[in-house]
């Protein structure tokens, strides 16, 4: 059976879950949920190089918890390259879990024939001291980060070597999509600008590489369905029914590649 691997937002996790439940051979979000293109590209690059995570990558999750409120709870550790679901009670346990997952997923990724990438936002957080774009801030104080927005060419530049890599990328079908979940903290207009950057970057990559393709999840939810009855109570996240509709459309698409 063909191997599929998926990276991206929580919307990608929902579709990935449907793929798994319907018998597809898939690894979904091996670094946890990721929202921006740089974090996704960093994860894919790490699978290609197999560079292990080290003690210098480890950070304490939510380090200020309870300092002013008189609360306490066990410390947990993770890295800026992982989602909080990887948090572990000690740095050593985190590294063991992260590196075991890295090695196993790297072997799987090398043989995968389809890569699904779902972009959520073009906004990123850069850790000032480490000078890296993080996958998750892990409730580290905001003053340690600088918030910036990617542009179209930056996204294309970081993904092009991955898509065209002779050993790891060129032999795969890359299916790109944009999450329909709106990031309303940027305002409706700001969200549209962010999504437009992602859409333009994907359009440019699909025009440049024969093995890059676009699936219109964003348009299906926001243009075809549109009505708020297709959204959850928060009016931001798609309802279960909407995810099912998108999944059924996506199933027809992925059947062309597996």
The pLDDT value given to residue 249: 85
pLDDT band at 227 (very low <50, low <70, confident <90, very high): low
The pLDDT value given to residue 255: 76
The pLDDT value given to residue 230: 57
What is the full DSSP assignment across 188-254? HHHHHHHHHHHHHHHHHHHHH-TTEEE--HHHIIIIII-SGGGB-TTSSSBPHHHHHHHHHHHHHHH
Name, in order, each residue with C-beta under 8 angstroms of 236's C-beta and a sequence gap of 6 or more. 181, 182, 184
Task: List, for residues 32-81, the tens digit of each pLDDT value.
Answer: 999 999 999 999 999 999 999 999 999 998 876 655 545 567 889 999 99
The pLDDT value given to residue 98: 97
Task: List, for residues 147-186, the tens digit of each pLDDT value.
Answer: 999 999 999 999 999 999 999 999 999 999 999 888 777 7
Mean pLDDT score, 7-34: 88
Mean pLDDT score, 204-208: 98
The pLDDT value given to residue 246: 83
Count the neighbouring beta carbons within 10 Å of the beta carbon of residue 35: 24
pLDDT band at 190 (very low <50, low <70, confident <90, very high): confident
Mean pLDDT score, 15-33: 90
Counting residues of the chain whose pLDDT is more than 90, the rounded percentage is: 67
- Mean pLDDT estimate for the chain: 89
The pLDDT value given to residue 83: 93
CB 242 within 8 A of CB 231: yes
CB 72 within 8 A of CB 64: no
Counting residues of the chain whose pLDDT is more than 70, the rounded percentage is: 90
Domains delineated in the chain: 3-254 (3.40.50)
pLDDT band at 224 (very low <50, low <70, confident <90, very high): confident
């Amino acid at each position: 059976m063909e191997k599929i691997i998926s990276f991206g937002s929580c919307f990608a996790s929902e579709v990935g879950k449907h793929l798994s439940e319907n018998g597809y051979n898939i690894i979904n979000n091996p670094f946890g949920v990721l929202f921006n293109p740089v974090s996704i590209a960093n994860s894919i690059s790490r699978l290609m190089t197999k560079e292990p995570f080290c003690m210098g990558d480890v950070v304490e999750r939510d380090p200020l918890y309870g300092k002013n409120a008189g609360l306490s709870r066990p410390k947990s550790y993770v890295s800026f390259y992982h989602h909080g679901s990887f948090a572990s009670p000690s740095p050593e346990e985190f590294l063991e879990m992260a590196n075991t997952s890295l090695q196993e997923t790297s072997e799987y990724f090398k043989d995968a024939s389809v890569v699904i990438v779902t972009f959520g936002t073009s906004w990123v957080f850069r850790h000032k001291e480490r000078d890296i774009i993080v996958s998750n801030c892990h409730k580290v104080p905001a003053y340690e980060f600088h918030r910036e927005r990617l542009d179209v060419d930056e996204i294309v530049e970081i993904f092009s070597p991955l898509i065209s890599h002779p050993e790891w990328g060129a032999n795969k079908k890359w299916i790109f999509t944009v999450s329909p979940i709106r990031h309303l903290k940027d305002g409706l207009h700001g969200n549209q600008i962010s999504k437009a950057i992602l859409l333009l970057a994907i359009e440019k990559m699909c025009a440049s590489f024969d093995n890059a393709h676009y699936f219109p999840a964003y348009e299906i939810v926001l243009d075809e369905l549109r009505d708020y009855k297709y959204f959850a109570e928060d009016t931001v996240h798609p309802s279960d029914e909407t995810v099912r509709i998108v999944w059924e459309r996506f199933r027809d698409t992925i059947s062309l590649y597996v």
